[in-house]
C-alpha cells in the first residue's frame, strides 16, 4: 500500500522565501576614482604616485603607478567589496588591495594595501567629484575654485560652484579692437582697461590699446591686458629680420616701428642694427619699439634689405614661432631734414631670418 506524505503549506512557503532571499543580488557601487586621504598617502613608502584608487569597468582596479589589475568586485546590501592583486609594482612585489565601499552612498573606500616584506597599510579614500576641494585633472577637471590654487589655469574664470560646468574654465570675452592700421580679434577680460589688475589679467594701464596704435608711446600693457609668461631656454637663439618699404621716391631719415612678438614663444630680445643705422629700443615684454636714425645721410635701408634684426631665446615648452606670429607697424617717420612723414604711407614686415 502506497503511503502519502503531506507537507504543510506554511513550511513550503518558508523554504521558497528563504531561497529567494539567498538568491537576491545587490548591485555593486558604480565605477569611480577615489583620492587617498593626505594623511594616508602614499600607500607604499617611496611611491608618491600611489595616491589614488580607480574602480574601472572590466572589472579592473587601477592603482596609481601600478597600473590596472583584474578585480573581484561584489555588491552586498550594505557595502561593495573590492580586491585586486599586482605581481609587481615598481620595486614592490605581490601587492594586494582589499577594501569596502559603504552603500548606498558609495563615496568612501576603506581599504588595506600590502606588499611583500612591507607592513599592511590601512587607508581611507574619497570619491573624486567636482567641488570636493581637490583639483583632479585625471577626471577632466581643468579647475576647482574650492581647492587652494585650483583656478591657476584660469584665475577668476573658473565656473561658479554648483553649476554643471563648475570645474571647467569659463570662456573669456572676445572683443574686436580696430585701429587705423589693422583690425584684430583678441581675447579681453571683462574688466580690462579699468586701471586695476583683476583676475585673468597680468597688467592693466587704464586703456585697451598698445604700442601698435598710432600716437601711443611705450605702452607697457597690451590691448588685452595679458602678457604670456616665458621661461627662456638658455643657449637657444631665434633670429628674425625687420624690413620696411618707404613711399616711392622718398628717403626716410628717422623711423619708429613697433614689433609685436609672440611673448609666450620667444623672449629676451636683442637688437642688431644694420650698418649706418643708430637706434634706441623700448621693450614692453610683449612687443618692442625701435627708434631709428640714418647715420649716413643716405636714407634708412629699405626692403629687401633688413632694417634691423632681433634675436630671441625660445620659451620652454612652446612651439617654434613663424613669421606670421609677428606683427610690425610704422608709428612715426621723418625725412633727412626732420620733416614729419605720414607713417601710413609706408609699411614694415617681419621675416625669418
Q: Are 331 and 343 a contacting pair, CB within 8 Å? A: yes
Distance (Å, rounded) from C-alpha 255 to C-alpha 307?
A: 10
Residue with cell 608709428: 331
- Residues 6+ away with beta carbon under 8 Å from 49: 42, 64, 65
Residues 6+ apart with CB under 8 A from 40: 121, 122, 123, 124, 125
Grid coordinates of 158: 573658473
Q: Is the pLDDT of residue 187 over 50?
A: yes
Residue 214 near residue 180, CB atoms below 8 Å:
yes
Residue range 13-28, pLDDT digits in tens: 544 444 544 456 899 9
For the chain, what is the mean pLDDT? 84
Q: For domain 238-351, give the CATH number.
A: 2.60.40.680
Laid out side by side, the sheet with 308-314 consists of 266-273, 308-314, 238-245, 347-351
Q: Over the stretch 218-227, which tens digit does the pLDDT of each residue have?
A: 678 888 899 9
How confident is the model at residue 342, as a pLDDT? 93
pLDDT of residue 240: 97
DSSP assignment, residue 138?
G
* Residue-level pLDDT at 172: 64
Whole-angstrom distance, CA of residue 41 vs CA of residue 55:
18
CA dihedral (180, 185, 191, 192) positive or negative: negative
Q: Which residues pair with 273 in a beta bridge?
A: 308
DSSP H helical ranges for the chain: 9-23
For residue 15, which phi and psi values (nearest 5 degrees)?
-65, -40
Task: Output the pTM of the full model.
Answer: 0.49
Using CA atoms, how far apart are residues 94 and 96, in angstroms rounded to an integer?
6
Q: Give the C-alpha distances (Å, rounded to integers) separating 109 from 37, 120, 302.
A: 10, 16, 72
Q: At residue 225, what are phi and psi to the nearest 5 degrees?
A: 60, 30
pLDDT score of 75 more than 90: yes
Grade residue 46 by pLDDT with cuts at 50, 70 and 90.
Answer: low
Question: What's the pLDDT band for 178 if we cut at 50, 70, 90?
Answer: very low
Domain ranges of the chain: 32-127, 238-351
Q: Is the pLDDT at 148 greater than 90, yes or no?
A: no
Higher pLDDT: 158 or 23? It is 158
Residue 90 has a CB neighbour count (10 Å cut-off) of 16
CA 285: distance to chain centroid? 21
Rg, Å, the chain Cα set: 34
Assigned C-alpha cell, 308: 634691423
Pairing mode, strands 254-260 and 266-273:
unpaired
33 vs 215, higher pLDDT: 33
- What's the whole-number mean pLDDT along residues 90-112? 92
* Res. 193 pLDDT band, cuts 50 70 90: confident
Which of 44-48, 125-129, 337-341 comes out lowest in average pLDDT? 44-48
Q: What's residue 217's pLDDT?
A: 66
What is the rounded distance in angstroms from the CA atom of residue 329 to the CA atom of residue 255?
Answer: 11
Share of the chain above pLDDT 90, in %: 48
Closest CA to 246 of 181, 164, 125, 341: 341
pLDDT of residue 183: 46
Please give the Cα distance from 333 to 347 (Å, whole number).
11
Amino acid at each position: 500500500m502506497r503511503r502519502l506524505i503531506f507537507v504543510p503549506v506554511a513550511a513550503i512557503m518558508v523554504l521558497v522565501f528563504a531561497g529567494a532571499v539567498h538568491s537576491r543580488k545587490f548591485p555593486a557601487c558604480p565605477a569611480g576614482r577615489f583620492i587617498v586621504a593626505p594623511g594616508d598617502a602614499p600607500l607604499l613608502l617611496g611611491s608618491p604616485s600611489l595616491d589614488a584608487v580607480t574602480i574601472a569597468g572590466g572589472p579592473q582596479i587601477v592603482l596609481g603607478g601600478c597600473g590596472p589589475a583584474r578585480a573581484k568586485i561584489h555588491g552586498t546590501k550594505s557595502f561593495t567589496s573590492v580586491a585586486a592583486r599586482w605581481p609587481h609594482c615598481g620595486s614592490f612585489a605581490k601587492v594586494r588591495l582589499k577594501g569596502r565601499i559603504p552603500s548606498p552612498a558609495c563615496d568612501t573606500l576603506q581599504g588595506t594595501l600590502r606588499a611583500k616584506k612591507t607592513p599592511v597599510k590601512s587607508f581611507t579614500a574619497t570619491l573624486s567629484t567636482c567641488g570636493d576641494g581637490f583639483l583632479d585633472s585625471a577626471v577632466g577637471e581643468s579647475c576647482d575654485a574650492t581647492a587652494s590654487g585650483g583656478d591657476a589655469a584660469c584665475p577668476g574664470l573658473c565656473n561658479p560652484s554648483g553649476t554643471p560646468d563648475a570645474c571647467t574654465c569659463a570662456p573669456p570675452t572676445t572683443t574686436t579692437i580696430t585701429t587705423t592700421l589693422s583690425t584684430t580679434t583678441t581675447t579681453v577680460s571683462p574688466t580690462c582697461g579699468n586701471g586695476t589688475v583683476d583676475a585673468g589679467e597680468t597688467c592693466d594701464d587704464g586703456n585697451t590699446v598698445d604700442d601698435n596704435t598710432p600716437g601711443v608711446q611705450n605702452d607697457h600693457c597690451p590691448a588685452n591686458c595679458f602678457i604670456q609668461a616665458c621661461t627662456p631656454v638658455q643657449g637657444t637663439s631665434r633670429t628674425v629680420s625687420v624690413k620696411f618699404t618707404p613711399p616711392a621716391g622718398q628717403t626716410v631719415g628717422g623711423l619708429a616701428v613697433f614689433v609685436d612678438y609672440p611673448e609666450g614663444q620667444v623672449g629676451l630680445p636683442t637688437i642688431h642694427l644694420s650698418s649706418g643705422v643708430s637706434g634706441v629700443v623700448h621693450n614692453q615684454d610683449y612687443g618692442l619699439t625701435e627708434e631709428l636714425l640714418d647715420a649716413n645721410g643716405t636714407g634708412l635701408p629699405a626692403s629687401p634689405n633688413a632694417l634691423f634684426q632681433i634675436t630671441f631665446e625660445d620659451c620652454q615648452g612652446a612651439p617654434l614661432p613663424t613669421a606670421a606670429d609677428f606683427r610690425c607697424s610704422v608709428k612715426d617717420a621723418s625725412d633727412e631734414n626732420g620733416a614729419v612723414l605720414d607713417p601710413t604711407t609706408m609699411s614694415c614686415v617681419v621675416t625669418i631670418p
